[in-house]
Structure 1
Amino acid sequence: MRSSEDKEAGRFWDKVIKGPRPGDCWIWTGAIGDDGYGRFWQNVAAGQRMWRAHRFAVALVLGGGDLSAHDKVRHESCDVPLCVHVTDGLDSHLVLGTTADNNRDRSEAGRHANMYSLRRSGGRRRDQAAHSRELRDHLLAHGWDDDFRLLLAGYSPDQEALF
């Protein structure tokens, strides 16, 4: 019989679709929060614990099963909230970092919240959740096709080509 940790890990990975190429994102297909990040509920003695999916993936692979509130998980090679691609090698999309690292990443990507960035982003937080749900729903319905790659890059498959 599998241990409860193995069952939780199996339940988690059952909700992940890995891209066909080694460097592709691994997309969370379970619940999505209003911030656009995946949600995973872990069964614990006191009931359930809610995790952001990318944090749970890092805890499984790198953190020995748990992370502290001070551990920041950074999307180092992608900026996809649903990505849970974590390995202990160079191909990992997720890495542990500091608050300073995370703030620098956020600022460089224009995700920091101030009146100027919010105007430029057009309320990116709301759009991010809708985009994450669109990605998940497309991937579940059609698989990892060319249209999914366009959606992942932030383009609409219905958008006309310029050239």
Structure 2
Amino acid sequence: MIRAHRYSLAQTHGGLEAIAELEACHTCDNPICVRVDAHHVYLGTRVENMADRARRGRHNRQTAAQFWRYQSQQERAGMARALRDHVLAHGWDQSMIAHLLRGATTGQGQLF
């Protein structure tokens, strides 16, 4: 088994062997993000990943990212399945993905 963000990195960087000693660093703090670029998920060493975590004040927190701290594992898994099902059924739709990630309800406006 391989986590989705590591699989995405492996596809981008030449396979699992190429990334074996490196970590997936998340600047977006979204543990289910698979968008490989400098603003979301990128490769780094353990030292770089921990330095980034400390620099952004993410150390000494719950094991789940701060962004998801109020959701149970079951809620996060349900959201991941909803995202997967939507993409499989309708393809990638950035506005709907953002809607599903925010957990907005139908008719709810966006503040920013």
TM-score tier (shorter): 0.5 to 0.7
Any gaps of 5 or more consecutive residues in structure 1?
1-49
Q: Give the structure 1 partner of residue 77 of structure 2.
A: 129
8 A contact 2:5–2:24 mirrored in 1: yes
For 1:31-70, list aligned pairs within 5 A.
50-62=1-13, 64-66=15-17, 67-68=19-20, 70=21
Identity rate, percent: 26
Structure 2 counterpart of 1:97, from 44, 55, 64: 44
| Aligned-residue offset at 1:156 | 2.0
Which structure dedicates a bigger proportion of its chain to strand?
1
Q: CA RMSD in A?
A: 3.7
Is 2:36 the counterpart of 1:86? yes
The corresponding residue for 2:25 is 74
User: If the length of structure 2 is used for normalisation, what is the TM-score?
Assistant: 0.59
Question: Looking at CA atoms only, which structure, 1 or 2, has the larger radius of gyration?
Answer: 1
* Higher RCO (C-alpha 8 Å, min separation 6): 1
Alpha-carbon shift at residue 73 of structure 1 (Å): 0.6
What is the alpha-carbon distance in structure 2 between the residues aligned to residue 149 and residue 122 of structure 1? 18
Please give the per-residue CA displacement for 1:33-78, whole angstroms capped at 9, x wherever unaligned.
Answer: xxxxxxxxxxxxxxxxx2112212222322554132x421112346
The answer for unaligned runs of 5 or more in structure 2 is: none
2:86 to 138, 150, 157: 138
8 Å contact 1:71–1:96 — kept in the other structure?
A: yes
Q: More helix by proportion, 1 or 2?
A: 2
> How far is the alpha carbon of 1:159 from its aligned partner?
5.5
* Aligned residues of 1:82 and 1:132 also touching (Cα < 8 A): no
Deviation at 1:81, TM superposition (A): 0.9
Amino acid in structure 2 at the alignment position of 1:156: A
Alignment length (residue pairs): 104
TM-score by length of structure 1 reads 0.45
In structure 1, give the amino acid aligned to 2:96.
Answer: D
Q: Is the 8 A contact 1:147 1:157 kept in 2?
A: no
